[in-house]
């Protein structure tokens, strides 16, 4: 039985001609080796986001005499995500114009260079600059990896690998957080050595990843325009989805602290359990994807919304952890559902730019998440009520997306 691709409405259609890109040299389709290289490379953006969280206080102490150190130190952690949000669209255009493999291998090498640079940089300002450059490489890596997964696979295979991309990055986040804390026990600069892991990945990408053969129309002077009318809804919803997704990552420790939990072991265990919920949700996405984005996107927002409301109302550790697991499960469904919705109807020459636009929306949503929650906390007088508001917005989004599908006759 032939595979089908889901359009943005969740309706199955036949794959576009040349949509699945075999190896031009052998004619063979992509397999596990290509998928694993892309999935492991996708984890590098997470490395940039979580590795340094445990060492920020020590970074601030090391540069205590630097003017504005209280402002610059958090930027060391958040700068890559902001840069990804601002530049992934540009990376997407380069992917479509220059090619996937060349940009991926080059970005993996550059990632190691700028990622390890703080090992010897003498000032906090230079470290922040290196983190901005790291964000540029992460934007290219994420856009290339997701685009190539869409190039190499289609139908249920593509959906399964989109889900596994979230599984891999979620598990990696948990491991990197622990590794960062352990390595920082020696010196605050030591965790930066982990960024060199992209070098073996660059070698593997050069060996196992191939550049999809361009289609005839790809030789035209101008790339075919993106279908903005189709992309507007999934990209707009993804901006909100990035915010909803990041609530758990940023706010769980503050929720537990608010009810009197001070043990770092308890905080770490709660985060790990919540991450497990995310991994399970992403793993199960492959089984639910056949229902289409018109079902999976509202389901994901609905489950995450219920969990976030629960976190806002919970007064005991068990209730917080249960709510966090529910939120994590919804988050695990959320990203692959949104990605399938956004990319489902794009042709080969549009896919890099479409992935870049989607990635920008996701990371911008993640970047503004703590700012939005902080503003809400001031407006409604407390973190708990602020989370209830965010959860309610997530539930309203679920209802809106689902109702929109029904109004247009979508499944």
Q: Is the pLDDT of residue 12 over 90?
A: no
Name the packing angle between helices 317-343 and 155-184 (round to 10°): 130
Most trustworthy range by pLDDT among 23-27, 225-229, 377-381: 377-381
Which of 2.60.40.1180, 3.30.930.10, 1.20.1250.20, 3.40.50.1100 would CATH assign to domain 31-213? Answer: 1.20.1250.20
Q: What is the pLDDT of residue 258?
A: 87
DSSP codes of every residue in 148-175: HHHHH--HHHHHHHHHHHHHHHHHHHHH
Q: Is the pLDDT of residue 204 over 90?
A: yes
Residue 218 dihedral angles phi and psi, to the nearest 5°:
-70, -15
Q: What is the pLDDT of residue 266?
A: 76
Q: Is the pLDDT of residue 256 over 80?
A: yes
Q: What is the pLDDT of residue 170?
A: 80
Tell me which residue has tokens 């600059």: 129
Mean pLDDT of 215-237: 73
Q: What is the pLDDT of residue 53?
A: 67
Q: What is the pLDDT of residue 54?
A: 66
Exposure pattern of 65-85 as b/e (b: 16+ CB <10 Å)? eeeeeeebbebbbebbbbbbb
Torsion angle, alpha carbons of 382, 247, 184, 198, to 10: -160
Residue 193 dihedral angles phi and psi, to the nearest 5°:
-60, -25
Of the pLDDT bands very low, low, confident and very high (cuts 50, 70, 90), residue 409 is very low
Six-digit token pair at 364? Answer: 């911008």
Residue 2 dihedral angles phi and psi, to the nearest 5°:
-75, 150
Which of 86, 102, 386 has the alpha carbon at shortest distance from 254? 386
CA geometry: angle 149, 152, 155, nearest 5 deg: 85
Full-prediction pTM beyond 0.85? no
Q: What is the pLDDT of residue 114?
A: 96
Q: Is the pLDDT of residue 230 over 90?
A: no
Q: How is residue 196 annotated by DSSP?
A: G
Three-class secondary structure assignment of 74-93 = HHHHHHHHHHHHHHHHHHHH
Q: What is the pLDDT of residue 14?
A: 36
Q: What is the pLDDT of residue 15?
A: 39
Three-class secondary structure assignment of 358-371 = HHHHHHHHHHHHHH
226-411 shares the fold of 31-213: yes
The domain segmentation of the chain, as residue ranges, is 31-213, 226-411
Mean pLDDT of 355-378: 88
Q: Which CATH superfamily is domain 226-411 in?
A: MFS general substrate transporter like domains (1.20.1250.20)
Residue 162 CB partners (closer than 8 Å, separation 6+): 146, 149, 285, 335, 336, 339, 340
Name the percent of the chain lying above pLDDT 90. 37
Of the pLDDT bands very low, low, confident and very high (cuts 50, 70, 90), residue 410 is very low
Mean pLDDT of 136-151: 91
Q: Is the pLDDT of residue 34 over 90?
A: yes
Going from the C-alpha of 346 to that of each of 5, 82, 103, 230, 341, the distances in angstroms are 10, 26, 21, 9, 10
CA atoms within 13 Å, Cβ hemisphere of 264: 4
Q: What is the pLDDT of residue 353?
A: 87
Going from the C-alpha of 272 to that of each of 253, 262, 393, the distances in angstroms are 12, 16, 26
For all residues of the chain together, what is the average pLDDT?
84
Of the pLDDT bands very low, low, confident and very high (cuts 50, 70, 90), residue 216 is very low
């Amino acid at each position: 039985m032939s595979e089908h691709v889901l359009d943005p409405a969740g309706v199955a259609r036949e794959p576009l001609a040349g949509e699945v890109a075999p190896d031009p040299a052998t004619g063979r389709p992509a397999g596990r080796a290509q998928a694993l290289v892309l999935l492991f490379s996708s984890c590098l953006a997470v490395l940039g986001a979580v590795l340094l969280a445990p060492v920020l206080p020590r970074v601030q102490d090391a540069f205590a005499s630097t003017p504005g150190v209280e402002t610059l130190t958090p930027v060391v952690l958040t700068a890559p995500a902001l840069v990804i949000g601002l530049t992934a669209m540009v990376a997407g255009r380069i992917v479509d114009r220059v090619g996937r493999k060349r940009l991926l291998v080059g970005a993996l090498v550059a990632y190691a260079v700028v990622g390890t640079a703080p090992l010897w940089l003498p000032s906090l300002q230079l470290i922040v600059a290196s983190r901005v450059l790291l964000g540029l490489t992460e934007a290219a890596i994420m856009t290339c990896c997701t685009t190539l997964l869409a190039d190499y696979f289609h139908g249920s295979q593509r959906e399964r690998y989109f889900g596994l991309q979230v599984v891999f990055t979620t598990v990696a986040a948990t491991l990197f957080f622990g590794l960062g804390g352990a390595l920082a026990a020696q010196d605050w600069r030591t965790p930066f050595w982990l960024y060199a892991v992209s070098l073996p990945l660059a070698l593997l990408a050069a060996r196992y990843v191939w550049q999809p053969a361009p289609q005839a129309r790809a030789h035209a002077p101008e790339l075919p325009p993106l279908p903005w009318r189709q992309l507007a809804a999934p990209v707009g919803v993804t901006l909100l989805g990035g915010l909803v997704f990041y609530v758990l990552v940023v706010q769980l420790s503050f929720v537990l602290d608010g009810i009197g939990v001070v043990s770092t072991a308890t905080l770490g265990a709660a985060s790990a359990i919540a991450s497990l919920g995310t991994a399970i949700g992403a793993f199960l996405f492959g089984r639910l994807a056949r229902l289409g984005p018109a079902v999976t996107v509202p389901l994901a927002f609905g489950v995450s919304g219920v969990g976030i409301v629960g976190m806002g109302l919970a007064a005991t550790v068990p209730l917080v952890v249960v709510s966090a697991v529910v939120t994590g499960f919804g988050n695990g469904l959320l990203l692959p559902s949104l990605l399938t919705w956004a990319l489902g109807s794009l042709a080969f020459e549009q896919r890099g730019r479409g992935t870049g636009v989607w990635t920008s929306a996701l990371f911008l949503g993640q970047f503004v998440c703590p700012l939005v929650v902080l503003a809400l906390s001031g407006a409604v007088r407390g973190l708990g009520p602020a989370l209830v508001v965010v959860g309610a917005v997530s539930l309203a989004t679920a209802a809106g997306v689902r109702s929109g599908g029904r109004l247009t006759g979508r499944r």
